[in-house]
Chains A and B, each alone.
Chain A
Amino acid sequence: MGKMIEAVNVSYIYQTKYQKTKALSEVSCSFERGKVYAITGKSGSGKSTFLSLLAGLDVPTEGTLTVEGEDTRKMNRDAYRLNRASVIYQAFHLFPLLTVMENVMFPMELQHVPMKEAKTRAREYLEKVGLRETLYKKMPSMISGGEQQRVAIARAIAAGGEILLADEPTGNLDSQNEKVIVELLCKLAHEDNYAVIVVTHNEAVAAAVDVVYGMSDGSLSVVRG
């Protein structure tokens, strides 16, 4: 299978008025569809920075990051996040004033999907992540953490992209919910052909994925591949 995302000598420097901090140092790696990747490492090792580059929220200071051959520097990164890559966060980050259903419909609204179709598709995604229909009209604050993370995953796949990025997706969950979410992410990669990249320092999560990269002081190395 071809490389979906490829990083070649990617470096990233945080620059403030007074100092420069090298968060990533010549990172080279690639990601394919149909696989689940984990990037592990200590806090401050550069995992989240790398994830933000993969999400198109920023561009490398040096080196190139390409998605199916297209340099992220040159692409429309808003459209990339809207249509191809979605991010799931540890704190779920659902819109607090939208219902579960409306949260999942949000990316489709941005894509101008007609309301009726968006509703039907949102239902499908919510069913796919195993959420009961009784929760659809509830506000995020009224459902459990595990359920909120499943809504976040449903919202991520609702955009219809092929890349799922997750930043400590099980960090706020108990072990039972953690297992459900990891299984769900693996299922999305293996059955629906997503490229799933998970940033984690949870060993159980790392053990469940196909490829594990380790990050230390901004440098990336293969731990298990």
Chain B
Amino acid sequence: MRVFIRQTARNIVRHPYKSILHVLIGVLTVLILELYAGNLDSTKSQLAHLPEVLTVPATISCLNGSMRECLAIREDRVMGVRESEYVKDPAFTVRLRFGFGEFNVETAKDAVTYLNHYGRGMNMLKGISGVEREGVTFLEGVDESILETSQKVCLMEESLLEERGLQLGDEVKLTLYYYRCAQEGSEVFIEPLITDTYRIVGSLRLGRYQGNWMPPETILPLDCVREAYHSQGIEFFADSGSFVVKDPFQLNALKKQMHDEAKFMSVITRAEFRYNGNALTIMDESFIRSAELLSKNLALLRGMLPFVLAIIVFIGYLCSYLSLQSRREEYALMRSLGTGRGRSFLLLFGETALLAALSGFLGGAVGVFLFGTAARVWAFSGALFFAAFMAGTAAALLLLHRLSVMEILTKKD
């Protein structure tokens, strides 16, 4: 082994121009390969991280798409969305009217006197615009996740708390009224829902409210409201709903599920207006366009891989072939002196392998300096270069083995 290493190293040092040329060609090849591998890696990474950069939101609307709030979204549709494995952050709201204490509204005057506040049932704060996490002060030990429970709690607008002399932690009796759509979805009525006591667990400061309906003065957990509907034997409807597609690469599965199981339809702009929230709009255009573009690029780059490899194999073959042409006599002489075919092959292969490894390392280092190549791209390019280049070298060496030793050495100079 020592002799082998000594002979290999000596040959490299004593063929300085050839060795330098070999390394230079190798470095250039590695750099080109790094550009290719870098592109491949970056495209793959962009595609993999696309869902993080381009989220795909979806909103429930009425059939003609003109309204996204104040709708009547059936409970089975609400639950279909909330329980879907393809959905992330489903946000539903239900609008309410409320007043403090227990009362009955029999006249219009009663409504003005008692039922003079607006509320919402929500399962997360981002269900309506203008409500931000920063605008809510929770009671100690309570956070936003309380909205995902069915506890009898509420968040109340700061000015209302002040007006009513209430504080966080207080319990307050509220009478809730709900909005009921006519069966055909064209009319809305306000009906009594429940009178119950709720603990105030947070104060609310609304930001820029952009909703179509009145800004909420109190927010109750959606499931708490839902249970109130159930306890009164009333069919539950949400008034708005939206979510984010969990894995945009499974859009088709989501669409199929929403269509087949939750019975959502696509928006039909010419449809007559109804309050029913039965259409689903998935804003997937930019995601699909970007994903298609990246996928095409990736397929193109991957398709180029065999050609890139073939070119490097050819470069390896050509470099070694040309370099060995002037060393045919050296090879023949080694064979004549008793160096076996295998050993001669390994000696010349080892020389090229050392130079190729050096080229891979230097090419990688130059790549890091010039293009800021990532370590995995460096490793990938280096390994690919080494394997392909050495395959070419092996082919050139096998060709050399076919030469007749005596024919080369008995040529009379």
Contact = CB atoms under 8 A, between A and B. Distances in A.
Size range of the interface on A? 20 to 34
B15 A55 contact: no
A112 B343 CA distance: 14
Nearest to B338: A82
Interface stretch (A31-39, A59-67, A103-111, A207-215): A103-111
Among B7, B336, B340, max chain A CB count under 10 A is at B336
A51 interface: yes
Q: Is the interface of A mostly helix, strand, loop or mixed?
A: mixed
A89 B410 CA distance: 7
A86 B335 CA distance: 11
A102 B151 CA distance: 93
A146 to B, nearest CB: 15
A159 B411 CA distance: 24
A79 B333 CA distance: 15
A93 B406 contact: no
A126 B162 CA distance: 113
A155 B338 CA distance: 12
Contacts of A93: 329, 332-333, 336, 409
A59 to B, nearest CB: 13
A81 B330 CA distance: 16
Contacts of B267: none
Contact of B336 (A57, A90, A91): A57
Nearest to B335: A57
Contacts of A58: 406
Nearest to A43: B412
Contacts of A91: 409, 411-413
A90 B410 contact: yes
Interface in B346-385: none
B403 to A, nearest CB: 11
A78 interface: yes
Interface string B381-413: 000000000000000000000001110011111
Nearest to A14: B404
A107 B337 contact: yes
Nearest to B342: A78
Interface in B1-32: 3, 6-7, 10-11, 14-15
Contacts of B15: 97
Contacts of B159: none
A82 B3 contact: no
Nearest to A79: B338
Contacts of A86: 337
Overall SS of chain B's interface: helix
A106 B338 CA distance: 11
A48 B409 CA distance: 10
A87 B14 contact: no
Contacts of A112: 3
B410 A48 contact: yes
A159 B335 CA distance: 14
B149 interface: no
B129 interface: no
A95 interface: yes
Nearest to A107: B337
B412 A110 contact: no
B406 A95 contact: no
B340 A78 contact: yes
Contacts of B404: 52, 57
Interface string A149-186: 00000010001000000011001100000000000000
A90 B412 contact: yes
Contacts of B66: none
B339 interface: yes
A168 B10 CA distance: 31
Interface of B: 3, 6-7, 10-11, 14-15, 329-330, 332-333, 335-341, 404-406, 409-413
23 contacts: A51-B410, A52-B404, A55-B406, A57-B405, A78-B340, A78-B341, A79-B338, A82-B338, A87-B409, A89-B410, A90-B410, A90-B412, A93-B409, A95-B333, A97-B14, A97-B15, A98-B10, A98-B14, A109-B6, A110-B3, A110-B338, A110-B339, A167-B409
A-B complex: 5 closest residue pairs judged by Cβ atoms? A82-B338, A52-B406, A97-B14, A81-B338, A78-B340
Interface of A: 48-49, 51-52, 55, 57-58, 78-83, 86-87, 89-91, 93, 95-98, 106-107, 109-110, 112, 155, 159, 167-168, 171-172
Given A78-B339, A97-B15, 7 more contacts: A52-B405, A52-B406, A89-B409, A91-B411, A91-B413, A95-B330, A155-B337
